[in-house]
A and B are shown apart, each in its own frame.
Chain A
Amino acid sequence: MTENQDQFNPVLPARVQPRRAPGTPGAPVSAPEASALVIRNLSVSFGENRALQEVSLDLPARAITAIIGPNGCGKSTFLRALNRLHDLVPSARVQGQVRLFGTDIYGPGVEPVLVRRRIGMVFQKANPFPTMSVADNVTAGLRLNGLRDRALLTERLRESLVMANLWDEVKDRLDAPAISLSGGQQQRLCIARALAVRPEVLLMDEPAAALDPLATARIEDLILELKESLTLVIVTHNLQEAARVSDYTAFFNMGRLVEYGATVKIFTNPAVQQTEDYVTGRFG
């Protein structure tokens, strides 16, 4: 970590220390490792419609957590609540706590912009900025936040593309338009773009859903590598994908968390019948 990193990831005001409250309503299913995100009684509603109800769980640091569940179960709503993207929707109302290494990102005085620098996001549809080159896309998060240091930008450009397993493919066409890349490359470019601001958590909303099997495999390999350095939360429709890459799995249904635990347990010996029905393909 360079000094500039601090400037780019100012620590949020440390306000609340994570407190465990066993036995209280909504007590979490605790994971053994240190938690990156501690979520308590998180509810999201859009107008009259409650999309997410009273979700509590701990997401362990430097691990991959998969969020699975049928359409409309609240997976994406949950994910988007983790970096305050619902702030964009006027009718959206978020209640509860999301503590990132101890700090409630919905606490008073917390800037959503700073939260999002620590919690990045990759979307289902690859969305490189169409007016920018490959290189400009990767450094967009730094440049548009005022970073001017060319040497540092070049360093981060390379570092992020290498991390995203894209460097070898694009190193000779960094100035080409980003939309000239293939679909799979565009998605890895978006991952590189998110990595360039060095987030602590990376949220992925069905990152491989629009890709062919080969490109999907590359993204999955990449996700496994990224676990070394950051915390990943992946929403997926693909149960095999969840089983292949994740350490923990949370099963959502009807806006509620049904079951959460080690992926092996969820897929081989779930505690709740509904989970078993879903992972064995009997419903959903």
Chain B
Amino acid sequence: MTTAGHHWRKFKDFLAQALTCACAVVVMAPLALVFYQVLKSGIGALSWAFFTQLPKPAGEPGGGMANAIVGTFELLGLAALLGVPVGVGGGIFLAEYGQRRVNWWVRFAADVLNGVPSIIWGMVVCALVVVPMKGFSAWAGGIVLGFIMIPLIMRTTEEVLRLVPQGYREAALALGIPRWRAILSIVARTALRGITTGILLALARVAGETAPLLFTAFGNRYWNHHLSEPIAALPLQIFNYAISPYEDRHRQAWAGALVLLLMVAIINLAVRALTRERLGKVP
């Protein structure tokens, strides 16, 4: 054990630590950059009117994105209506009922679906919903976002159900409780926090989807009065404003981006709170 060897070993150790530290900084930097840029450019255009008024005609300054903000929530609600029951149900099947071989195929399908580019989802739903209904609609937008949510929710639901100790299932069945009831009232109830976390993460993921909405929800300058009509959404509005030639619209696009970013950040904070409490509570 020479001193030189000792120093060389220490240096390698230091090098490894420095490299991983640098990577961690590289992870943090883009997030800081995004927040800084969006905050700087967007905060100026945020005003009461931005949250309460409809867009003004092109070229005319002022107005807001009230319809797009509400539209995003409506679309997320519709998406959850489709994505949550199917995703949670599929996850329950995978974790509780499925045989190994069937599960392999279902998981494979979910993983492939998860990798399908969102623009393709938009085209497919356009062909399956928009064309037969003869028009863009909130329904189509909700359906496309719901489809994107399904595999995400399904896999997280399966994971958290598998974490529920087998002892609870056995205890429930040993009481003569029917299996479906034991799964719903005891197993899924025990994993509820985790399932909710998965749903929130899926919502955060689709909240900013733009491409699939281009030819489904389409966007709308006015309020959406019926779900069978086109509907405005924040990402669409941002897109349209960002490519427009007017300075005021660019500022509003930044403000829209800020609102969308905050929405996603708040959802992620909620997820943090949920998972933190879970760690503190369950023994």
Contact = CB atoms under 8 A, between A and B. Distances in A.
Interface of A: 83, 85, 88, 90, 112-118, 120-121, 123, 125, 127, 129-131, 140-141, 144-145, 179, 190, 193-194, 197
B165 A127 contact: yes
Interface string B163-190: 0010111111111111101100110011
Given A131-B190, A144-B181, A144-B182, A117 B176 contact: yes
A188 to B, nearest CB: 14
A127 B189 contact: no
B3 interface: no
A140 B172 contact: yes
Interface of B: 99, 165, 167-179, 181-182, 185-186, 189-190, 192, 282-283
A112 B172 CA distance: 13
Given A131-B189, A179-B283, A141 B176 contact: yes
B178 A194 contact: no
Nearest to A80: B170
B135 to A, nearest CB: 46
A84 B211 CA distance: 53
5 contacts: A127-B171, A129-B171, A129-B186, A129-B190, A193-B175
A118 B175 CA distance: 9
Contacts of B181: 144-145
A131 B171 CA distance: 14
A85 B167 CA distance: 11
Q: Which 9 A-B pairs have the closest CB atoms?
A: A117-B176, A141-B175, A121-B174, A127-B167, A116-B176, A144-B177, A127-B171, A144-B181, A131-B189
Contacts of B169: 88
Contacts of B179: 113
Given A90-B99, A129-B186, A190 B171 contact: yes
Residue of A114, A123, A140 with highest tally of chain B CB at under 10 A: A140
Contacts of A85: 170, 173-174
